[in-house]
Amino acid sequence: MNKQETQKILAVLVVTYPNFNTADVNTLTNVWEMIFKDYTYAEVNQALTTYLSTNTSGFAPLPAHLIDLIHSFRESGSDENPSAMWDKVM
């Protein structure tokens, strides 16, 4: 993911989780960009969408949560999140 794509992901987190700490937005963006440099925006967005629709903890995801979801999608051979696949069935 590049910086602009990282900012899009972080914007969703800020809107969804009002307590998400963005005190130093530049550092936060740089760190997340570094962590997700080997992943596409589509993969990270898919993982975030799945996390937002399935996790009930009330806490924003750590990067590791999203990476775990990405790896599970890759292992299952799925290029769609579970919600999108269910919509196809219906």
Residue 84 pLDDT? 55
Orientation of helix 41-54 relative to helix 63-76, angle to 10°: 100
Q: Nearest 5°: phi and psi at 59?
A: -110, 145
Residue 47 pLDDT? 97
Query: Which pLDDT tens digits describe the chain residue by residue (90 residues)?
Result: 999 999 999 999 999 998 888 889 999 999 999 999 999 999 999 999 999 999 999 999 999 999 999 999 999 886 555 555 545 444
State the pTM of this model: 0.82
